[in-house]
Amino acid sequence: MFELQSRVISGVTANLANVPNAAWMLWRTADGDADRAAIVDRDQLSTFTQVRGCAAAIARALIENGLSWGDRVGILAERGADAAAAFFGVLAAGGVAVNVNETLRTLQIDYILRHSGATQLLASGSVLARLPRPLESPVRVIPLEEVRAVAEWEPAPRISQDVAHIIYTSGSTGQPKGVTISHGNLWAGMWSVASYLRISPGDRIASLLPFSFDYGLNQLLLAAGCGATLVLERSPLPQQIVATLAAESVTVLPCVPPLWLQLLATEVFRNSLPALRAMTNTGGRLPRQAVEALRAAQPHAELFLMYGLTEAFRSTYLPPAEVDRRPDSIGRAIPGAEIMVLRDDGTECAPDEIGELVHRGPTVGLGYWNDPETTARVYRSNPRRPSGAPDTERVVFSGDLVRRDAEGFLYHVGRRDKMIKSLGFRVSPDEVASTIFASGQVAEVVVTSEADDARGERIVAHVVLAAGGTLDRLKVFCGTEMPRYMQPGRIEVHEALPRTSSGKHDPKTLAAAGQR
């Protein structure tokens, strides 16, 4: 057994260069909390010992099937104990895990497997059976249902810089990009979030998001690394989600904005979760009115507003004590990271000046898999390294525009590549969406744009009306409360808004549909 050299000390991680294989998160917890519940999935409970035993058996099976150091292994399974064991089993065998979202179809799965160069696929038979046609990728499929024997296994020796995981996220070219994550990145992200959320073995963390999404995977890492229990719920129905949260005494509830808005629209969510102590949001900006509604619905629970990007996992969080004072802020840097706000020339912006958010620290990934051109554009040299210092560090240029106030708190303005040019003004879709949400007429809103000869770009608001909300009142509100350059040129009313596989709103699908 290794001696853990890194510790969370006053919320700051130390000695991250010395971390071992990230599979040790599960192995060391199982040693200390063997019979503690690791994962609760409806009426099925898996202990840390059981999950580790399955992970060990998977590691052995991969090696017996020819896995070599650094080989990529796809994981296609329903979120649960099998998927968790598969992830840690791949790491324990010395492979690179590639989580594939279970809702993807054959075409997308084949692309990810081929692009990553996966040699083996750990797959659930039930997920494979749902595919419209068989996979064509030349991988060896290992059915997870057949890997059941508990085995002894020592995780393969790995160091911080070794590749552990590839996360596929949507890309601007239409094909997903593979963000390459190291063992050190996984440890650093887990420790940083655990420190400010104060995760302990007594916590019960809700798992509502896929493991293929970095936010969803971090819930698994927090449970494995801290000995907490992961409580699964797969139903998309808010009423069922709330019922599970209450029945399982969930203490930590992570959601993305669309899910928060759905929960807030249900009466049962209000004041019905006495065990809840922390709510976390990332994956998009929550409108101020939604923040206030969450505080009112669960006043006993702390609300953490966070900002992250897959390339660096998590960048900022707003402490709960600041939420009521500055609900529009994304906070300050997470423990162990530095956030810079830079002009185009690489110099630091003055307070309240808008610049690009640049992230440096131990959660910065290794780059994009098999894409050196995009890697060079996003993962760059540290512009603030001392003159003469070796150029060994890479920082992430996020493409997000932010401003920092005089007290050091950050505010998201918009994406550099998604700002709308309307009537000569640069307009943030997030700002338009927040203003529309403030009307009280909508339950959800996404803002896109389309070409317009007169305006430059026409702003299009896609909305789901709130109970009692009307399109006419919304139009009056926009005309009264927004300057002309911010007003939508068209408002589309939907029964529901499309989402990505990670549960976020999907503006690309909406924009593409509007151009047909």
Closest by alpha carbon to 250, among 293, 285, 280? 280
Q: Which residues contact 367 (CB under 8 A, 6 or more apart)?
A: 180, 375, 378, 379, 394
Q: Which CATH architecture has domain 235-414?
A: 3-Layer(aba) Sandwich (3.40)
Q: Report the candidate in 141, 34, 135, 36 with the shortest Cα–Cα distance to residue 86.
A: 141
- pLDDT of res. 14: 42
What was the pLDDT predicted at 11?
33
**Phi first, then psi: what are they for 106, rounded to 5°?**
-55, -45
Q: Structure tokens of 264? A: 């807030």
Superfamily of domain 418-514, CATH level 4:
ANL, C-terminal domain (3.30.300.30)
d(CA 246, CA 404): 38
- This prediction has a pTM of 0.86
Residue pair 36/204 in contact by the 8 Å Cβ criterion = no
- Are 323 and 291 in contact, with CB atoms under 8 Å apart? yes
Q: Would you call 179 helix, strand, or coil by DSSP?
A: strand
pLDDT of residue 506: 86
Judge contact between 133 and 106, C-beta under 8 A. yes
Residue 35: closest CA among 201, 189, 242: 201
Three-state DSSP class for residue 77: coil
Number of residues that make up the chain: 516
**Domain spans in the chain, listed from the N-terminal domain onward:** 20-35+48-183, 235-414, 418-514
Domains 235-414 and 418-514 share a fold: no
20-35+48-183 is classed CATH 3.40.50.10490: no
pLDDT digits (tens, 9 = 90+) for 347-400: 999 999 999 999 999 999 999 999 999 999 999 999 999 999 999 999 999 999
Q: What is the pLDDT along the chain (516 residues), one digit of tens a residue?
A: 233 333 333 333 445 557 899 999 999 999 998 899 999 998 899 999 999 999 999 999 999 999 999 999 999 999 999 999 999 999 999 999 999 999 888 988 999 999 999 999 999 999 999 998 999 999 999 999 988 767 789 999 999 999 999 999 875 445 789 999 999 999 999 999 999 999 999 999 999 999 999 999 999 999 999 999 999 999 989 999 999 999 999 999 999 988 999 999 898 998 789 999 999 999 888 889 999 999 999 999 999 999 999 999 999 999 999 999 999 999 999 999 999 999 999 999 999 999 999 999 999 999 999 999 999 999 999 999 999 999 999 999 999 999 999 999 999 988 777 778 787 777 888 889 988 988 999 999 999 988 887 777 899 999 999 999 999 999 999 998 888 888 999 999 999 999 888 788 888 888 777 655
Distance from first CA to last CA of the chain, Å, rounded? Answer: 59
> CA-CA distance, 103 to 124, in Å (whole number)?
13
State residue 17's pLDDT score.
Answer: 59
What type of residue is 40? Answer: V
